[in-house]
Amino acid sequence: MMPQTTIGKTDVRTSKLGMGTNKVGSQNFDPQLKDADGLAAVQAAIDHGVTMLDTAYMYGLGHSEEVIAQAIRPYDRQTLTLATKAAHVPGNPTTYDNAPAFLRQAVDDALMRLGTDYLDVFYIHFPDDHTDKAEAVNALADMRRAGKLRAIGVSNFSLAQLQEANQDGQVDIVEDHYSLVHREAERELFPYLRANQISFVPYFPLAAGLLTGKYTVDPGGRFARFGDFGHIQSGLATVRQIATTHAATIAQVLLAWYMANPDITVVIPGARNAAQAIQNAAAQDVVLSQAEYRVIDQAF
Ligand SMILES: NC(=O)c1ccc[n+]([C@@H]2O[C@H](COP(=O)([O-])OP(=O)(O)OC[C@H]3O[C@@H](n4cnc5c(N)ncnc54)[C@H](OP(=O)(O)O)[C@@H]3O)[C@@H](O)[C@H]2O)c1
């Protein structure tokens, strides 16, 4: 049975295990991606109890949202939690904008592409360097009052930018880089989030695939940003032993660890096809003992 959770101080309820969709309709990142695979991945996730779908304008420059719109058509919209993000300026995607007028347009455009009249979560995807963050969040709060979105999120903000954004207590959820091999958020961010009842969603929970254990060599230094490759492999060997006792995969055991972590609200592993989505959703059935949780906590 899929565990459920609540976002921040809102009444948005969702599955603790979600799905990241930067490999759904995101041909700008990977031209080999096929829409049919992305659509099947989203539907497989939903069919296995996942209700939180995490997308962004930047994934396919709106196309990920369009593929998701198609994928969710057969389902009851109210049972799903649609989270999207924007900040990249269309036509100039290396530039960010958080101005109220930009955010209003970004929300309306996302609603149109997703084929819905409300977003469950809207994140400012990246901070720009010129908009007052409280002003940006106030614009989102206006849209919340208008019924266009239900929860306000920010992503890739420094702690100082988050504090500025949350000065009226209106931020509900933060999405940032965090995984067992990238734990900086624990020092300052997590205590702030706890104190302010803000939810946390880690991105790259599987270190972009490295933590599945399937990569035994680093193709072209692709994983260098996640730390020492040899050290991570020895951590994975420890996790593999626990996975074997659960008749589970390494990825499933690690996803179970994130689900059991009290600082994490929803975990959103990415999947490029239905097979990956189904395997990831099955992590809901893995229950770790406290001892196993501690071993994984120390494994890397
Ligand atoms: N807010 C932000 O700025 C930001 C930034 C990055 C990501 N995100 C979000 O966070 C989500 C998660 O991050 P991510 O998808 O980049 O990385 P991730 O969840 O750490 O890893 C996902 C990748 O691991 C591999 N994988 C996943 N499940 C697997 C399975 N069962 N078996 C084998 N391989 C599997 C796939 O890649 P391969 O098949 O290529 O190995 C998949 O694309 C994204 O989808 C996106 O929604 C947000």
Regarding pTM above 0.95, the answer is yes
What the block records as the tokens of 167 is 């000065």
Mean pLDDT, residues 271-277 taken together: 98
Question: 13-15 and 173-177: which strand pairing?
Answer: unpaired
For 72-83, the DSSP string reads HTTS-GGG-EEE
* Residue-level pLDDT at 219: 85
CA distance 124 to 137: 9
> How remote is the CA of residue 204 from the centroid of ligand 1, in Å?
6
Q: What is the pLDDT of residues 69-123, one digit of tens each?
A: 999 999 999 999 999 999 999 999 899 999 999 999 999 999 999 999 999 999 9
CA distance 104 to 123: 12
Phi, psi of 50 (to 5 degrees): -80, 130
The residue whose CB lies within 8 Å of the most ligand 1 atoms, and thus the one to mutate among 17, 21, 22, is 22
CA distance 290 to 256: 12
CA distance 296 to 29: 31
Q: Which letter does DSSP use for residue 55 in this model?
A: -
Mean pLDDT, residues 293-298 taken together: 98
Which residues are within 8 A (CB) of 3 and not within 5 positions of it... i.e. 6 or more apart? 15, 16, 17, 259, 284
Q: Can you list the domains of the chain with their CATH numbers? A: 4-298 (3.20.20.100)
Does residue 172 contact residue 8 with C-beta atoms inside 8 Å? Answer: yes
Q: What is the pLDDT of residues 19-36, one digit of tens each?
A: 999 999 999 999 999 999
Work out which ligand 1 atom sits closest to the CA atom of 249: 31
Q: Tell the residue nearest (CA) to atom 44 of ligand 1.
A: 20
